Structure 1
């Protein structure tokens, strides 16, 4: 018998450690909905995206379930052993793949939308779950879905690898959705929390129901704030804004609880100061016309956002009294060089540096 090649032993060990143990289970929809409602199954772990399906897409899934058309397997992770004693609010399972489908099912059975856009069963258009005839509600409740459960002993990183592999052929993730899955932890949780701050959402003119918010644009804007403003981070930017934000998020993910608490305080103070000084549209963009007349182009512009948040962040930390004359700041729009820096490819390195430096000059910082 040929002895094993010792050079292969590390590979064998690694393959064994990263092997995935699974078990296939059939759940009926009534059971799945109950498990989700009781938080036994967690629909939105950190690495998942927000629910992005429109009601029409969700309706077609419900139609497929009624017609007994096969749907893809749901992948769930067993996070807590079934025999372990945990608090009632601790989920035992999290969804690795199938979040959109399970959310659609859960929402429909809880009467959160009406069916629309159906072709095969067009008679059902406009009906909520409670409006369906009894034989159809029974059919839905008893319809089973195949779930592949991944063992609780799996290495956490392998779980995220599975998530990325399963989603590689689905709807393309935005840059922030990818960061949400790759840079997990307390800073990522802070982004989620701050993105709902009332003053921030008001000034950034964010609609919580918009597709941009569903795709985590609001969280990316919070990350952009810290990346450019904290410790004059804009000076680190040498091109490639997506990678710049990736690097900053990775760095911020290493911060401890006390540092993150300071981040939160600085964020809230900065936006409160901006609102008090510049009103409800501090990030508006203007075009200079004849005789230096300024005409409003948009009520929110991300390049103007950069110009305002960096100096206000500095002032909030140093307790410097901010300039309250918004008209003085608006003279920047009469500066041809500044206006060019907020037009076109606004993430160009020179444009980012130009608009922030000129803004700091206006603020005398």
Structure 2
């Protein structure tokens, strides 16, 4: 890439100055004692989970070690918060802030001080293992309430996009963001919001092996893999596997950006279709509809309760062959066809190969969906 000449740079000086004014981040150092911080989080004055944040992923042990550090007055990293610009809230004298960096730390502290987290795996203060906040001796409760946390408050009123930029930059080099977590930041929009709601569907969660009790503890939910599975269904059904050119991650991201352009009515219709197919599959094949099987001594032996490649084949194969209206009309016959197709194809070496190895290999994706759709249509 050639370096711009001084003349070119001078010509663009006005543009550079304008961008610098618009995107310069104004900050203010503030300190909150934990008692105040917890109250503000509790009454939503400080919002812990803006749309671009990842879901809480710290283990109880990691959270406990942070609490131990706070009790021992060990310094913890600065929390970055951004002032919102909701005029109505400011007029009411109740400004609202969102956490840009520090969600995991603040969630751990909030959960503990709300008696939702027992301490565990502590080494220095091992006597506190198993203790909830309410179990602490009074002097430690006072110490926690009066402990101050340094925050850097960011005024992002000039350009709202700046808070997302800061989030991405601050998280570079920290816990690696998973693919869907990144899309949640970079491909925001109405369809992305709808996917997050679809992923919470009771029947869908049963199919992808997310238990009803404490779903937030499931790895699929923590890493937003459940949301990615919902996106995967639409990307393969609407866009088609032939558009997997640069790679599967890029294919999903490009698909989501396109889907975010859909109208509210289109998104509502697609949401209903997704729920309809998932409800039918649960009823027809049970909660282990997307399990993987192999032939062993002429019988089929289950290898796993859920497999993303099998999910592609069955869910997308069904949706590509049978309309949502046909499900209700031919429920019994379709159920028999689904069961027969699944058993027959798992005895087919070509199909088994297509659901094995790299889940996102374009050729395998095409093969497994095509084979299941053709068997279902026959």
Task: Classify the secondary structure of the residue corresponding to 2:277.
Answer: helix
- 1:305 and 2:311 correspond: yes
240 and 363 in structure 1: CA distance in 2 versus 1, 3 angstrom threshold: same
- 1:195 and 2:199 correspond: yes
- Answer yes or no: is the 8 Å Cα contact 2:65–2:122 preserved in 1: yes
- 1:50 and 2:50 correspond: no
Aligned to 1:10: 15
Q: Distance in 2 between matches of 1:30 and 1:254?
A: 43
The root-mean-square deviation of aligned C-alpha atoms, in Å, is: 2.1
Q: Distance in 2 between matches of 1:29 and 1:163?
A: 23
- Answer yes or no: is the 8 Å Cα contact 1:202–1:280 preserved in 2: yes
The one of 229, 235, 246 aligned to 1:227: 235
- Answer yes or no: is the 8 Å Cα contact 1:39–1:91 preserved in 2: no
Task: Classify the secondary structure of the residue corresponding to 2:357.
Answer: coil
What is the correspondence of 1:239-254 to structure 2 with a 5 Å cutoff? 240-254=247-261
Q: Distance in 2 between matches of 1:158 and 1:43?
A: 18
Q: How far does residue 9 in structure 1 lie from its aligned partner after superposition? A: 1.4
The one of 32, 40, 43 aligned to 1:27: 32
Structure 2: give runs of 5+ residues left out of the alignment: 1-8
Cα deviation, 1:12-41, whole Å, max 9, x if unaligned, reads: 111111001111111100000000000011
Task: Classify the secondary structure of the residue corresponding to 1:39.
Answer: coil
Q: How far does residue 279 in structure 1 lie from its aligned partner after superposition? A: 2.7
Q: Which is worse superposed, 236-245 or 46-55?
A: 236-245
Q: Distance in 2 between matches of 1:81 and 1:331?
A: 58
Q: Distance in 1 between matches of 2:246 and 2:294?
A: 27
- Answer yes or no: is the 8 Å Cα contact 1:273–1:312 preserved in 2: no
Aligned to 1:286: 293
- Answer yes or no: is the 8 Å Cα contact 2:156–2:162 preserved in 1: no
Task: Classify the secondary structure of the residue corresponding to 1:319.
Answer: helix
Aligned to 2:222: 214
Q: Compute the TM-score of the two structures, normalised by the length of structure 2.
A: 0.89
Q: How far does residue 285 in structure 1 lie from its aligned partner after superposition? A: 1.4
Cα deviation, 1:195-246, whole Å, max 9, x if unaligned, reads: 1101111112124222232111111111111111236x22322351111111
Q: Which is worse superposed, 38-47 or 280-289?
A: 280-289
Q: Distance in 2 between matches of 1:183 and 1:68?
A: 39
Q: Compute the TM-score of the two structures, normalised by the length of structure 1.
A: 0.93
- Answer yes or no: is the 8 Å Cα contact 2:341–2:376 preserved in 1: no
Aligned to 2:98: 94
- After the TM superposition, list the runs of 4 or more consecutive aligned residues in structure 1 that deviate by more than 3 angstroms: 4-7, 81-88
- Answer yes or no: is the 8 Å Cα contact 1:74–1:97 preserved in 2: yes
Q: Distance in 1 between matches of 2:357 and 2:92?
A: 52
